[in-house]
Amino acid sequence: ELQRLDGDRVAIIDTRPWSEYRAGALPKSLSIPLSNAFPTEAGSFIEPDCEITLITPPHELDGVIRALVRVGLDHITGWARPEAVRAADGLQTLEEIDVVEAQRRLAAGEWRMLDVRRASEAAEVRIPDVPQIAHTRLAAQLDDLPRDKPLVVHCRSGARSARACSLLRRHGLTVANLAGGILAWEQAAPVERSAG
């Protein structure tokens, strides 16, 4: 039954940890693991009138529903245990790459990069010539994204960019998450720092 969900019509929220999600997820599902940021991320990724199917453990279900209702997401029409996803056919993986591979793809002109940190973070330290859109604003700015090449997506440590990758993939973009984010990048590659 999970395989028949229409990810264009139903927002499928997968609360499993990133490592499990990226190893095999339902097509067009959103990776939004449970954390303090869960309501904000769900509220920024999903339209209020959209139907929602949850993938979350039974003991977390009530809390997840309450968190969604608090941000106006109350059209919850389905639920599945994480085990049901692992047993499903047609799962998709989501690529995560290290700095060396990201540099190779960027240098070859095969990919572009996107920074999904907040503007204040990008003002302090940034990778040169990389556009920035906060991950919580991506859904509203999908039309502004370049679609001519796949995107390497980064944030500070790789967590927010992982969520952003699931959103971007849901909307048809080819993406890879930068493992370790800008913290890993600045250990091996140039960054720009603010003068302040």
Indicate which residues carry an active-site annotation. 155
What Å distances lie between residue 161 and 74, 83, 112, 149, CA to CA?
Answer: 26, 25, 14, 17
